[in-house]
Chains A and B, each alone.
Chain A
Amino acid sequence: AQTVTQSQPEMSVQEAETVTLSCTYDTSESNYYLFWYKQPPSRQMILVIRQEAYKQQNATENRFSVNFQKAAKSFSLKISDSQLGDTAMYFCAFMKPLGSARQLTFGSGTQLTVLP
């Protein structure tokens, strides 16, 4: 079974600064997908960024980028130029590509607060 660990329950960052959220996972699979999801207060969870394990290049989406270290089983999220709207709970998640359901295994989340 896969496990996902987020060791930072809470973090804060000043507006316009850069912050990095940590995530480690444990799996025996060689091919899989990793995700960061964001859950703003009282709003729906949305996808932030996705990484395919067989791709060496780190994924980037505007101000969001990841540092994917497959050997270390580490998948951190960097948010540049933090904005007040980035305040949310961030979840790291793992997905096996095989199997019919494509289930996600989530970490426990990191509450990020962007300070004005």
Chain B
Amino acid sequence: EADIYQTPRYLVIGTGKKITLECSQTMGHDKMYWYQQDPGMELHLIHYSYGVNSTEKGDLSSESTVSRIRTEHFPLTLESARPSHTSQYLCASSEDRTGGSEQYFGPGTRLTVT
């Protein structure tokens, strides 16, 4: 199992609440990613970071925001959750090589917004 952790694993919250999904890795990887996995199981990149203080939006537009203050920590925040945010969120990391590096995935957070 990879050393990448996500909390909480499951979260049910009401509309309008602010939430933060936590992601931490102990492998010292520079690159970290957030994917949204819809009920049809397809994965879409929503945010990525290639190091401390760097964050970029991914291919899928998302109302969430991320921060990267420490190498090991890459939290995702939703300021005001809506039912359309219901999904599974996967965090991943990889080491900084010239290319083709494996991405290591966390166990995911399954978010339900009621």
Contacts of A33 in B (CB 8 A): 99-100
Asked whether A50 and B100 contact (CB < 8 A) given A44-B106, A89-B41, the answer is yes
Q: Is B105 an interface residue (CB 8 A)?
A: yes
A73 to chain B minimum Cβ distance, whole angstroms, is: 18
Q: Is A47 an interface residue (CB 8 A)?
A: yes
Contacts of A107 in B (CB 8 A): 42
A109 near B42 with CB under 8 A, answer yes
- The listed residue (B1, B42, B48) touching A106 by CB distance below 8 A is B42
Q: Contact size class for A? A: 20 to 34
- The segment from A12-20, A62-70, A79-87, A95-103 that touches chain B is A95-103
Contacts of B43 in A (CB 8 A): 91, 106
Residues of B at under 8 Å CB distance from A?
Answer: 1-2, 31, 33, 40-45, 48, 50, 56, 58-59, 90, 92, 94, 98-103, 105-108
B48 near A103 with CB under 8 A, answer yes
From 30 to 48 in chain A, residues with beta carbon under 8 angstroms from any chain B beta carbon are: 33, 35, 37, 39, 43-47
Contacts of B41 in A (CB 8 A): 39, 89, 108-109, 111
Contacts of B99 in A (CB 8 A): 33, 95-98, 102
B102 near A102 with CB under 8 A, answer no
Asked whether A97 and B100 contact (CB < 8 A) given A44-B105, A103-B48, the answer is yes
Residue of B94, B105, B106 with highest tally of chain A CB at under 10 A: B105
A86 to B58, CA, bound (A): 30
A19 to B56, CA, bound (A): 38
Contacts of A35 in B (CB 8 A): 102
A91 to B98, CA, bound (A): 23
B42 near A103 with CB under 8 A, answer no
A47 near B102 with CB under 8 A, answer yes
A27 to B103, CA, bound (A): 21
A45 to B88, CA, bound (A): 13
User: What residue of chain A has the Cβ atom nearest to residue B2's Cβ?
Assistant: A44
Contacts of A109 in B (CB 8 A): 41-42
